[in-house]
Structure 1
């Protein structure tokens, strides 16, 4: 029985990406970073990263150090995805990675750890868009579709994602789209955007100006279109509940 399509984010939903990022950052820059230091989705807002420009340089170095081939699956992700397939869902990956530069290693990683599980991989290229906007480039940013557009194109029933920002955006679509907000992560408790000049200040710069952390976002304001799941067992239970409602 085909119950429909579920879109699944890759980094920090299937893959323990930020954990590996902190490990490589510590190796390269002599820091003591841990997952607990990721208060925000945008890395320059967090301790140890420095300014936006320094963060962009560090990201390039971390990518070059083989981040995406070194990262491992999150505990429970393989069994959780299999359980969703067994329930009758088709699964697709919708990732913010760049198709142009990350497709080959992404497909290789999926084939290694999730063979035969996903029907498609969609690349929104959001990470590239953020880097280009921060660099001040006047070149047009062409990074494919947004995640909401991809969900519309594929007819996906919901998105499983660790980004609060994506959950907010999908819930505000017309009609709204559903998100399961994944992980007990600090970075999906507070909204972080890259819009204003203040948004583009790094951790140290913000501290120097005495800027406070944003309050935790209240998911109840999204009309039930975003629900939290701390791990993959909770994801499967939540999908089953949504299915039977």
Structure 2
């Protein structure tokens, strides 16, 4: 079975890296990991002042920096879970909201930390208007992906509406997710809880 997997906060510690890269600040205002209750920074109390153009720069600047190649760390235990699942014949495709400018560092980091795990890495270009944008739903439909591992409840809901089974990793930004409203989304505390 071909399984789709998100990258940020599912495979890589993107928030920790972005915080480190920006020295714990967004436009001069202090931001701590414990405050991050949403990927869209203007939804975090105290950061409503960020414009729609400024908000994604927190991640874009970090992910396109030279430091991303060396300093962005994998999520502990993620490789071992993928490697074990591959022994059952499962195949994996990484599908990320990241854009083309992050391709080199993303592909190199994935190959370094997850060697031989992924058939393909697809960039949706969500915040890069100069490149063609694809939704995760479009990619999953095109590739015939029926199972997805995600941490963003909004993407999970969109995928579930197409009949794709989603394992939603428990994170602060999906704490209010109402699992009983979406029978195709299964919230899990850790990767080893994912039953394929």
**TM-score, scaled to structure 1:** 0.70
Q: How does 1:90-239 map to 2 (within 5 A)?
A: 90-99=91-100, 101-128=101-128, 142-173=131-162, 176-182=163-169, 184-189=170-175, 216-222=176-182, 224-235=183-194, 238-239=195-196
Shift of 1:127: 2.9
- How many positions carry a matched residue from both structures? 192
Please state which structure has a larger fraction of its residues in helix.
Answer: 1
Deviation at 1:59, TM superposition (A): 4.3
Q: Which has the larger radius of gyration?
A: 1
Structure 1 residues 66 and 6: CA distance shift in structure 2, 3 A: same
Number of the residue aligned with 1:192: none
Query: Matches of residues 31-50 of structure 1 in structure 2 within 5 Å?
Result: 32-47=30-45, 49=47, 50=49
Cα-to-partner distance string for 1:129-155 (whole Å, 9 max, x where unaligned): xxx5xxxxxxxx753321111111111
**CA distance in structure 2 between the aligned counterparts of 1:61 and 1:146, rounded to whole angstroms:** 22
Residue 28 to residue 118, structure 1, CA distance change in 2 (3 Å):
same
C-alpha distance in 1, partners of 2:92/2:12?
Answer: 16
Q: Distance in 2 between matches of 1:111 and 1:65?
A: 18
Separation of aligned partners in 2, 1:21 and 1:145? 24
Q: Which has the higher strand share?
A: 2
The answer for the alignment partner of 1:81 in structure 2 is 82
1:143-191 CA-to-partner distances (Å, cap 9, x unmatched) read 3321111111111121101110011111222xx1111101x311123xx
- Backbone CA RMSD of aligned residues: 2.3
Write the distance in 2 (CA, Å) between the matches of 1:19 and 1:74.
11
Q: 1:221 to 1:150 in 2, by over 3 A?
A: same
- Structure 1 residue matching 2:23: 3-state secondary structure: helix
Report if the CA contact (8 A) 2:95-2:123 is conserved.
yes
Structure 1: any 5+ residue segments left out of the alignment?
133-140, 190-215, 240-245
